[in-house]
A and B are shown apart, each in its own frame.
Chain A
Amino acid sequence: MSEKIIFDQKELDLSINRLCWQLIENHCDFSETVLIGMQPRGYLLAQKIQQKLKELTSIDNILLGSLDITFFRDDFRRREEPLSANQTDIDFLVEDKRVIFIDDVLYTGRSIRAGMDAINSFGRPQNIELLVLIDRRFSRELPIEPNYVGKTVDAIDTEKVLVQWAGDKIEKDQVSLIRA
């Protein structure tokens, strides 16, 4: 197994910074906008983005929720083991709001499809945009494309893109490409 770092701490900070400025450009004061982090990993990124937006705009009340899509997946009874559900925590309605889905890696697009189903339980959004840190090109199984991309990566199916945030296991944030 080999591991290649494709995004180090510095590049990641720059990218997240850029993504935040792009969001500010399109959403101004965020009064009609909500951020939705896709559980489990997208929520970590969404928290970072919310924090960064707060620093850049001094707006304290940018709404952030976490969305779990386990029960909306299209591969129920097709996997060896059922996936464990995570918590959905959305304490506001998204009716007529501009929703930004935030996920770390966009691969087949099926999670985002399930997310679009799941978010309807909280109202009918005005529109939904998609922000991803890593876009794995050429591997989409559904017609889904991101609006904001940190970095585009070309990887084959046997490779895995791993986003790790500084914490217990690792000292600095990084994104790596793992070859089995």
Chain B
Amino acid sequence: MGSLSVDHLVGIKNLTKEDIVLILDTAENFKSVINRPIKKVPSLRDITIANLFFENSTRTRLSFELAEKRLSADVVNFSAASSSVKKGETLIDTVNNILAMKVDMVVMRHPNPGAAKFLSENVDSRIVNAGDGTHEHPTQALLDAFSIRERLGEVEGKKIAIVGDITHSRVALSNIFCLQKLGAEVMVCGPATLIPKYIQDLGVRVEHNLRTALEWCDVANMLRIQLERQDVKYFPSLREYTMLYGLDKELLDSLSKKIVVMHPGPINRGVEISTDVADSDQAIILDQVENGVAVRMAVLYLLAEKVKRVEV
């Protein structure tokens, strides 16, 4: 096994293909660990990890916490709502205060793009980005790639369509980087207002018709409409969005091949994806959630290797 070429997981953009493959291969081993009667290994027993969530999260936070606990790390949780951030403390001060309590690694979600990079440059700790604004969400992209690899055997050469609110989605950007590095073809699909203007510069196809996108792809990753990040109206109504970009069983069954349906959650049933599609055997949404723990264990394990050991 090699080591990661990076000291922090700030984004997929900074990773090499070898890093990604190393993480996915390591995650396979952890997936077998979490399916054992006792789902725990002692690897990180001398590591303390702080989960700093400056933005709401259920799945990612739970997934990270489970991953940390299954590696036997000590975990402290922090949410912005109940913290001194409200009293005017800066990000660096907050984190340095936490690190002064001898914390080795920080998992952070923050509403501002670049927060994880900023932190990695300014504090002495390993940083794992759990989502920074509309920028990147690297562990989500890794678990998506892992789930595709698991279902289809490999990622290379596969066609993946990312459908929905691309502009406000950190999942989309990380997925584009990750899938392209692994040799997949990526298409983004959605209303013109929700697709960034120069996204084709990243080498992705752009499509505005959902049926065309679905006919082209092997995997469709349906994203949520992020109403909380939309400051202006990007489309006339949710009802219209659903009519044009919602995936229902009728549309899925009318395609010429069986595609795999993914969703990073949380699902808005009846908006971007209908209930019968979300619960169908073509959807791997719950596999993604299970794989999330294994992939995060792999990321934490490989980064913990780089935590300086106190010589006694």
Contacts and interface: CB of A to CB of B under 8 A. Distances in A.
Contact of A83 (B1, B25, B309): B1
Given A68-B29, A71-B33, A121-B40, A81 B1 contact: yes
B41 interface: yes
Interface stretch (B134-142, B194-202, B300-308): B300-308
A117 interface: yes
Interface in B21-48: 25-26, 29, 32-33, 36-44, 46
A84 B36 contact: no
Contacts of B282: none
14 contacts: A68-B29, A71-B33, A77-B304, A77-B307, A81-B2, A82-B3, A82-B302, A86-B29, A93-B37, A121-B36, A121-B37, A121-B39, A121-B41, A122-B36
A77 B29 CA distance: 18
A80 to B, nearest CB: 9
A71 B1 contact: no
Contacts of A93: 37
A85 B46 CA distance: 20
Interface string B39-74: 111111010000000000000000000000001000
User: Chain B binding site: helix, strand, loop or mixed by DSSP?
Assistant: loop
A85 B37 CA distance: 19
A72 B37 CA distance: 16
A13 to B, nearest CB: 34
Nearest to A114: B42
A122 B37 contact: yes
Interface string A114-134: 000110111100000000000
Interface string B244-272: 00000000000000000000000000000
What are the nearest 4 A-B pairs in CB distance? A84-B1, A71-B41, A121-B38, A85-B29
Interface string A64-100: 0000101111001110011111111000010000000
Interface of B: 1-3, 25-26, 29, 32-33, 36-44, 46, 71, 301-302, 304-305, 307, 309
Given A82-B2, A120-B38, 13 more contacts: A71-B41, A72-B42, A73-B43, A76-B304, A77-B46, A81-B3, A82-B3, A84-B25, A85-B1, A88-B32, A88-B33, A93-B37, A122-B36
Given A84-B1, A121-B38, A77 B309 contact: yes
B48 to A, nearest CB: 14
Nearest to A79: B305
Interface in A117-168: 117-118, 120-123
User: Chain A binding site: helix, strand, loop or mixed by DSSP?
Assistant: loop
Contact of B29 (A70, A78, A121): A70
Given A77-B307, A88-B32, A72 B3 contact: no
Contact of A71 (B2, B37, B42, B309): B42
Nearest to A121: B38
Contact of A78 (B2, B44, B309): B309
Contacts of A82: 1-3, 302, 305
Nearest to B4: A82
A82 B307 CA distance: 13
A77 B43 CA distance: 9
B32 A76 contact: no
Contacts of B3: 81-82
A85 B26 contact: yes
A123 to B, nearest CB: 7
A72 B41 contact: yes
Contacts of B37: 93, 121-123
